[in-house]
A and B are shown apart, each in its own frame.
Chain A
Amino acid sequence: MTLTMDRAQTRPAVRPFGLSKAVPVADEKLIPPTLRLCPKRQISVAEGGTPFISEPSMKSQFETTSQTREDSQLADDKDNDTD
């Protein structure tokens, strides 16, 4: 199925009902830790070689970024998912 997506910008906008329920989200400016992929272990490591999964900041990675951005309506990669 192909949808024609060419849209003129008209005012007032014609919006679907569902979008009337959309709300702003906090603009998360997450500062990612400095990580590199360890070629031998094939996992992300912090400076000094500590696995990221052993770092305290890992908790927030699981509980905020990953979940809210990938497993919800904020998901932009749920095709790989579906979160």
Chain B
Amino acid sequence: MTVLVLTRPQDATADLVIAELNSRGVPVHRLDPGDFPEALMVAARIDSDRTSWSSVLRGQHRDVSLADVRSVYYRRPGTPRLHPEMPEQDARWAQAEAQAGFGGLLYSLPCLWVNHPHRNRWASYPPVAVAAAVRSGLSVPRTLITNDPAEARAFVSALPGQVAAYKALGTVHPSDQDDRPQALWTTQVRPGEIDESVRRTAHQFQEWVDKAYEVRLTAAGHHLFAAEIHAGSDASRIDFRADYDSLTYKLCHVPEATARGVRALMDAFGLRYVALDFLVNPQGRWYLIDVNPNGQWGFIPDLRTPITRALADLLERAHP
């Protein structure tokens, strides 16, 4: 039985897990869905006598039978790459057909996924994730999502210090007028800044939590791995992603109540893996601020090996 790894050709994080599985003698098949249709052939059959699709995926270097897949590691798969000479309007249609047909075939695999993309997608909506976190017993900052400037001003004005965090909700990065990428870090907002431009789309404002430090908590199966993230610059104190070079990490213990909440949150979404960001205030209270169901985990050196092994354990054993 094989572990199917869905990711792009260059993915050092997936390499870690594949190398670990190789060292254990566990069969692995690495596949980029972007190879479909031009570099990957598929023929899948089903009938009344079968409960799942019968198919062999024929790649450039090796083939795999879907029936032989014990588990799937869904990392950073590419999207189907179509023939370069296909007209754009035809390519749009063909892309959708490839996604529905080939993507759907993969999604139908009745085995353990880390994680199934549909579960990832559901957990990626901040309003869904925040509500599930609260139901799971985790603390979250007071949050407002609105396009009403008056509501936004009233919310921020009522917060301690009259300051809120503004955080984008989605995952599309902004660009300037010349289409150069921009960053949208978490920023502080005061009532006087809020104007009619809030009307233009959904905006998320959160209570500003004075933090002692942040924690990246990574869960793989039942194992929790946590590290304090200590900011070393003004920019990273507001959003640690703004200045990685200034950060230092220290492994830490997860309070039992938080651990229970994390496991409940994972159960709610059916996740085998998740990366969570917390703010920890000077009194030691953990506030969940971000749910990343397919978040990166290789950037904290001391956790790289333990998380690699935990993911390999999950994929090898192929049961929760």
Contacts and interface: CB of A to CB of B under 8 A. Distances in A.
Interface of A: 13-25, 27, 32, 35, 37, 39, 41-44, 51-53, 58-59, 61-64, 66-68, 70-83
Contacts of B176: 22, 24
A71 B275 contact: yes
9 contacts: A17-B200, A24-B180, A44-B10, A61-B12, A63-B244, A63-B299, A66-B296, A73-B171, A76-B172
B24 interface: no
B296 A15 contact: no
A83 B296 contact: yes
B294 A42 contact: no
A81 B166 contact: no
A74 B173 contact: yes
Nearest to A9: B177
Contacts of A19: 174, 184
B281 interface: no
B117 interface: yes
B74 interface: yes
Contact of B19 (A41, A73, A74): A41
Contact of A81 (B5, B174, B187, B293): B293
Given A41-B19, A66-B298, A66-B299, A78 B9 contact: no
Interface in B17-60: 18-19, 22, 28-30
B194 A17 contact: yes
Nearest to B175: A22
Contacts of B75: 80
Given A15-B197, A27-B180, A75-B173, A44 B15 contact: yes
Which of A18, A24, A25 is most buried by chain B, counting CB atoms within 10 A of its CB?
A18
A21 B5 CA distance: 37
A76 B244 contact: no
Interface in B291-310: 292-296, 298-299, 301, 304
Interface in B269-320: 275, 292-296, 298-299, 301, 304
B77 interface: yes
Contacts of A63: 244, 299
Ranked 7 nearest A-B pairs via Cβ:
A78-B171, A16-B200, A62-B298, A81-B294, A42-B30, A22-B182, A17-B197
Nearest to B32: A37
B293 A73 contact: no
Given A15-B200, A62-B299, A74 B181 contact: yes
Given A21-B166, A78-B124, A71 B76 contact: no
A72 B301 CA distance: 19
Contact of B174 (A22, A77, A79, A83): A22
B174 A82 contact: no
B260 interface: no
Given A43-B15, A74-B181, A83 B9 contact: no
A70 B296 contact: yes
B168 interface: yes
A39 B124 CA distance: 33
B211 interface: no
A20 B197 contact: yes
Contact of A82 (B5, B180, B244, B294): B294
A73 B173 contact: yes
Given A21-B166, A80-B294, A81-B171, A68 B15 contact: no
